[in-house]
């Protein structure tokens, strides 16, 4: 960067995006500094979009993690219920086997 660009860069850092846009519209920067200012403004816009995209990405990740935790909990409940149903089926089959053998169970 030349000293002129360094000075313009220092000046631009002190301004907001709206102030830079107004300055470009008013023709404050002319000649060789105008493309530099336009590039600086474009970089600010790209940075803002990247930050917004990152925030949306983080929110999506949080949502997916929440859904995964919920799914894991529901899967655990389903597994416990399935194990209970399996035990009940095994007990019913054993009782049926004993009944077919003619074994009487008296309580």
Instruction: Assess contact for 48 and 20: CB atoms under 8 A.
Output: no
**In a 10 Å sphere around its CB, with 0-12 CB exposed, 13-18 middle and 19+ buried, how is residue 21 labelled?**
middle
**Residue 79's pLDDT is what?**
96
HEC letters along 36-81? HHHHHHHHHHHHHHHHHHHHHHHHHHHHHHHHHHHHHHHHHHHHHH
Res 44: pLDDT: 85
Q: Residue 43 has what pLDDT?
A: 86
Residue 105, pLDDT above cutoff 80: no
User: Tell me, what's the pLDDT at 37?
Assistant: 83
| Cα angle value 47/5/37 (rounded, 5°) | 45
pLDDT at 94 over 80: yes
């Amino acid at each position: 960067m030349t000293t002129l660009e360094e000075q313009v860069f220092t000046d631009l850092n002190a301004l907001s995006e709206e102030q830079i846009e107004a300055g470009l519209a008013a023709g404050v920067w002319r000649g060789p500094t105008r493309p530099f200012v336009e590039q600086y403004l474009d970089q600010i816009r790209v940075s803002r979009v990247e930050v917004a995209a990152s925030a949306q990405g983080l929110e999506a990740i949080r949502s997916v993690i929440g859904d995964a935790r919920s799914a894991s909990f529901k899967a655990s409940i389903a597994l416990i219920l399935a194990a209970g149903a399996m035990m009940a089926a095994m007990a019913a089959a054993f009782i049926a086997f004993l009944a077919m053998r003619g074994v009487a169970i008296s309580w």
